[in-house]
Structure 1
Amino acid sequence: MAKKTNEKTNWKTSDKRFVAFLDILGFKDMVMRKSHENIYETLNHISKGKKLVEKAPEHDTISDKYKDAEVYVVSFSDSIVIFSKNDSFDNLRYFLLSTRWIFTTAFNNQIPLKGAIAHGEVSLNKSEQIYFGQPIIDAYLMEEDVNYMGIVAHNSIDSYLSKIADEKELKILEKMLFEDKTTLKCGSITHTNINWFKIVRPEGKDIPEVKDIKEKINLFKQSSSGTARKYVDNTLIMFEKIENEL
């Protein structure tokens, strides 16, 4: 993969962006039950994924496809926040790609996540580590309500998507998103979700297979009981809604 020699343009401090807020499920219990070294290894897996998606646009093959798109990832304790550079369609595509890639990489390493995405004006100052804006709050509150291992869209995302008229762009999004009754803590409610199931690849296979994905989801039962196991059951329910679309 050839590396670009030119740097990307600077980010605006304040701009309309897409934000993902992801949270590690059962982190407090994990801290109590696992060694400090094991927790560090878990967080290191996530950190490596973060660096890959941030650096990927420096390479020609990614830059040619996604133009000026970039993401910036902030992680602290059990939370991961992903920011897009702006809200262009290319940035939306790369943001969705990056978010579900980080999610699936964690899933494949038996690190359970759940999360939400939102859209709107965000101020982001990397050097001063200043991040604020309504979409961060919207994504956080939406994530709190998510009741399965998945990523659900806040209504601000639906509003953005409703303005897309280009058929080609809509076709691209159909492969990355799906709308269905979603298992939330407040009940089963129709929402847009990121389709991360599509990119789960069992070792040695080029395409996702229903049996293998279900086995991977069920593996989480070995590390959860009682209330915590509801996330496994709910993830299977959500997967079964779209398994024929893989």
Structure 2
Amino acid sequence: MTKKQEKTNWKPTDSRFVAFLDILGFKDMVMRKSHEDIYQTLNQISKSKKLVEKAVDLDKVSNVFNDAEVYVVSFSDSIVIFSKNDSLDNLIYFLLATRWVFTGAFKKQIPLKGAIAHGEISLNKTEQIYFGQPIIDSYLMEEDVNYMGVVAHNSIDNYIAKIKEGKDLKRLDKILFEEKTTLKCGNITHTNLNWFKIIKPEGKEEPEIKDIKERINIFKQSSSGTARKYVDNTLTMFEKIENDFIK
């Protein structure tokens, strides 16, 4: 039996990955829904947060990702996910955790958008101190995202380019895709998190194009006007890759 690797402590300051996710239409939700409904929505996200933080305690997860961990902070309509450090294992686990939180919300009809970045971040869980340029980069990038998706800041591209030589990046290719991305400033090529790939019909092992489109279209029932553009833009983004992502 392989000896389980001992977890290291989080360093107060380290190079990390960060995801900044935001609930779409939260202000409108506050005006239209009861306080109890909003509380239940936030509680669903909180449950996802606890699950991704505790998943690494499971042998089948820790044996694959070794010393990888994430830490999740949520406040009001925002969710921020931090990796322990910037090892390749931590990047992959961080991306999977971010995708899991995103799709968990999507399945509960909670629309999110977000961005990810990389760099030096100080994080003190006890004192609740979080600061660093990547947090700002991911926040500003998220503000520009114009569909239900998660877009990578160029610091992520720079990290991947630096580690490319001598590393097996096949796992990353299954989680990320590069495409002309729907941003508020226009359609610009960026790396995106492929969350579409794990949306599957109940009882089935593989995703289906028709099912994914139907699930995205459900959001039209709770949006109109400007807010509905996110639904149309999400369908547009999916249609760009629908012939490639299902093998």
Runs of 4+ in 1 over 4 A off after TM superposition: 4-7
What CA distance in whole angstroms lies between the structure 2 residues aligned with 1:242 and 1:54?
30
Identity of aligned residues (%): 79
CA-to-partner distance for each residue in 1:119-141, whole Å, 9 max, x for gaps? 00000000000000000000000
Aligned to 2:203: 204
Deviation at 1:166, TM superposition (A): 5.1
Tell me what 1:43 maps to. 42
Q: Residue deviations 1:112-158, cap 9 Å, x none?
A: 00000000000000000000000000000000000000000000001
Does the CA-based 8 Å contact 1:7-1:58 persist in structure 2? no
Q: How does 1:12-161 map to 2 (within 5 A)?
A: 12-161=11-160
Cα deviation 1:142-193 (Å, max 9, x = unaligned): 0000000000000000100111235763211110000010000000000000
> Structure 2-normalised TM-score?
0.96
Q: 5+ unaligned residues in a row in structure 1: which ranges?
A: none
**Aligned position for 2:187:** 188
**Per-residue CA shift, 1:45-102, capped at 9, x if unaligned?**
1000000000011111100000100000000000000000000000000000000010
Q: Deviations over 1:209-235 (max 9, x none)?
A: 000000000000000000000000000
What does 1:209-228 align with in structure 2 at a 5 Å threshold? 209-228=208-227
Shift of 1:5: 9.4
The 1-side partners of 2:137 and 2:85 are apart by 17
CA distance in 1, matches of 2:123, 2:70: 12
- Asked if structure 1 preserves the Cα contact closer than 8 Å seen for 2:19 and 2:138, the reply is yes
Q: Which runs of 5+ in 2 are unaligned?
A: none
Alpha-carbon distance between aligned partners in 2 of 1:26 and 1:121, rounded to the nearest angstrom: 31
- Do the aligned partners of 2:115 and 2:142 also contact (CA within 8 Å) in 1? yes
Any conservation in 2 of the 1:148–1:235 contact (CA below 8 Å)? yes
Q: TM-score, normalised by structure 1?
A: 0.96
Tell me the number of residue pairs that the alignment of Structure 1 and Structure 2 aligns: 243
Q: Could you tell which deviates more after superposition, 94-103 or 169-178? A: 169-178
8 Å Cα contact 2:5/2:67 also seen in 1: no
Distance 1:189 1:72 in 2: 30
Q: What is residue 176 of structure 1 aligned with on the other side?
A: 175
Q: 2:88 corresponds to which letter in structure 1?
A: F
TM-aligned CA distance change 1:130 to 1:204, over 3 Å: same
